[in-house]
Structure 1
């Protein structure tokens, strides 16, 4: 391998040319590959192969042909930047790998970040890459070459060679008060200024959610990363918020047109779910509804703009999917009339079917009469009640809905039927009673 002197690899003996002990070790050592073993290690054979690596060099091999196993070689790496971003890579070949995670790179702790899995048979060298974003304060990590993984054991043969660990210089990173955008540089089609303006808007959204929950914030107020990932959804909430790399470029393009990004506002809303204070979930019958409800609060307060796809009724009664722009409280129209699960097509039509946006519309309609302070009071009390998982698992969605209504009626000082009509409650009950 030709060494990049401006960004050298931090792995020692990454090309596997120096001798490596195959003795089972209990700890990873700085600057040395150690065989750590793992689950069902007796089923594995480990070797340093001659003339089997890249360009007929030496390489490491993990062989488990008869039984599933989960074993690894590991090397401790020190002196990394706390909070820095790194990328590990390796050349990997496999043969007859069946099941589980197969050959992979990972860090050495339970449910640690893992590269893509390589299974089956690959006679040509494949590149595995692991992006590392969670360097601890002591600047140390343990990088592992692994066959199998936690709850994902495998059998077969895996060869590893040319292991590299470098600072990840392929990333685009911009930071605001509450967020840090960390994505591949090629996924950003707009200027730094536009990105900074958008992140500042997300800061304002965060402050609105904080206001709605009277000062409660997720993750002890730490900066939330928004990170590009290969995932099976548009995005996942958490820290980091994982953003499907296939949607980032197009989404950032719409920021040129003033879009605040419905999806990311929604995921930030999820981060303000009851788990921010270990509060009860007994009232939260559908977190997707409440994430959109929180988002509406911010949109209305900030008069923010979102561009999204709507299902719009036509003159002949049919529906057409089209892009629409909603500013501030205009988004209420989406929940009322312009999705398959909107109010007009479900509750309003007496249809007991999936009604997520319809129920979100109903919650906002209550706000129109009683104000946001009602919800602030309700959430303040609900978020002060510790979680009782035994209680929650015995409640269906209708029971959770009723539980939530009891707090609304308590703080609004009205009968439930003043919040919903009897006909609406019957349709809602018919559906939610069937949902666990």
Structure 2
């Protein structure tokens, strides 16, 4: 996808089992020559299969949007019946452009870059910016962090891409959903997705406490909850039943932030707790959120403010983050025990979270 974001999938299948060793890809110009820049890919560790899919979603590098780029090509190297074989593939790079140029308006901490005609119908853009500005300030209060050196973050409309939005200094919005989001703001509904993306941006120290993909999504929503609580129940958001709306076609249900927390996130972990066959590394983002939200309900937000600032202190002292998910969870447990002044390990153990290395982490990081 030119000038934007895109995804692609490469599938390998065979009548007999094979194992994938590695894959690589590169940009090729119209003359068939590689574009300057390093190829990407990597080794693959897996078992023998009869079908394998490479599913990549990401930003197209500057090399990919230069004039004259024809396609992307690459190889997937497999081992089958003891023989190593490189399989070639080629993908076109279709052009994707917005119909109009972008117009940018800015608040104190965030801005909006939409196609110009959007602002003819976006009647509450200033109020929307004020709400998101206040969420940003709340997240500073919670974490002590200022992403991107405090520079203004821009919600930027883009051609359609595989997701609703991507976080970053420019938060890339899927143009297919921008009109619906504007309509929600004009109806007095704050965008769950916008606040969620801002939450991702505040994980500047995520290497310390994000142990897998669901933990990353939990962290964004945890900050969202603090921000929405700070706005108060006078600001509503759009839910479908009790599930945040991410796409088109869902029925609006204006909901108070307190309802999102108390009726959705808080009880979400109950089925996990009731199923002893489930292990900690199977927890979804909302199940992880349910655990930490219960700690917050018991001890307030102050321990979490101390938690984020402890990570900052350790990072500024030149220390390195824990290497494994188990160590990250153990360090997190150690910090929260200290910040609450309570032994929370039984709670972590009830949720089957690994805390065997708490004492080791306490000694290593001086907790």
Give the corresponding residue for 2:170.
240
- Indicate yes or no: 2:295 matched with 1:327: no
- Indicate yes or no: 2:341 matched with 1:413: yes
In the aligned structure 2, how far is the partner of 1:358 from the partner of 1:71? 45
Once the two structures are superposed, the pairs formed by residues 8-157 of structure 1 within 5 Å of their partners are 62-64=30-32, 68-70=33-35, 111-112=61-62, 114-115=64-65, 144-147=66-69
Report the CA distance between 1:234 and its aligned residue: 0.8
List gaps (5 residues or longer) in structure 1: 1-38, 45-61, 73-109, 116-143, 159-167, 313-320, 431-436
In the aligned structure 2, how far is the partner of 1:374 from the partner of 1:40? 48
In the aligned structure 1, how far is the partner of 2:319 from the partner of 2:345? 30
Say how many residue pairs are matched. 272
In the aligned structure 1, how far is the partner of 2:276 from the partner of 2:252? 28
Report the CA distance between 1:370 and its aligned residue: 1.5
- Indicate yes or no: 2:120 matched with 1:180: no
Give the corresponding residue for 1:211.
141
RMSD over equivalenced CA pairs, Å? 3.7
3-state SS of the aligned residue for 2:67?
A: strand
Of the three residues 233, 237, 240, the one matched with 1:306 is: 237
Give me the TM-score of the superposition, normalised by structure 2. Answer: 0.64
Q: Counting helix residues as a fraction of each chain, which structure ranks higher?
A: 2
Once the two structures are superposed, the pairs formed by residues 158-173 of structure 1 within 5 Å of their partners are 170-173=101-104
3-state SS of the aligned residue for 1:70?
A: coil
Contact 1:174 1:182 in 2 (8 A): yes
Give the corresponding residue for 1:202.
132
Contact 2:333 2:345 in 1 (8 A): no
Cα distance change on mapping 1:248 and 1:351 into 2, 3 Å:
farther
In the aligned structure 2, how far is the partner of 1:389 from the partner of 1:246? 43
3-state SS of the aligned residue for 1:343?
A: helix
Give the corresponding residue for 2:186.
256
Of the three residues 349, 368, 382, the one matched with 2:311 is: 382
Contact 1:70 1:149 in 2 (8 A): no
Report the CA distance between 1:146 and its aligned residue: 2.6
Report the CA distance between 1:239 and its aligned residue: 1.2
Contact 1:347 1:358 in 2 (8 A): no
Report the CA distance between 1:411 and its aligned residue: 1.4
Cα distance change on mapping 1:150 and 1:410 into 2, 3 Å:
farther
In the aligned structure 2, how far is the partner of 1:403 from the partner of 1:296? 23
Report the CA distance between 1:40 and its aligned residue: 11
Cα distance change on mapping 1:187 and 1:272 into 2, 3 Å:
same
Once the two structures are superposed, the pairs formed by residues 286-365 of structure 1 within 5 Å of their partners are 286-303=215-232, 304-310=235-241, 323-332=252-261, 333-337=263-267, 342-350=268-276, 352=278, 353-365=282-294
Give the corresponding residue for 1:281.
207
Report the CA distance between 1:191 and its aligned residue: 3.2
Report the CA distance between 1:269 and its aligned residue: 0.6
In the aligned structure 2, how far is the partner of 1:207 from the partner of 1:330? 22
Report the CA distance between 1:402 and its aligned residue: 2.1
3-state SS of the aligned residue for 1:282?
A: helix
Contact 2:36 2:63 in 1 (8 A): no
In the aligned structure 2, how far is the partner of 1:149 from the partner of 1:301? 48
3-state SS of the aligned residue for 2:104?
A: strand
Contact 2:236 2:256 in 1 (8 A): yes
In the aligned structure 2, how far is the partner of 1:368 from the partner of 1:336? 9
Give the corresponding residue for 1:96.
none
Report the CA distance between 1:265 and its aligned residue: 0.2
Report the CA distance between 1:310 and its aligned residue: 3.5
Cα distance change on mapping 1:415 and 1:155 into 2, 3 Å:
closer
Question: Which structure is larger by alpha-carbon Rg, 1 or 2?
Answer: 1
Report the CA distance between 1:206 and its aligned residue: 0.5
Report the CA distance between 1:322 and its aligned residue: 6.1
Report the CA distance between 1:417 and its aligned residue: 4.0
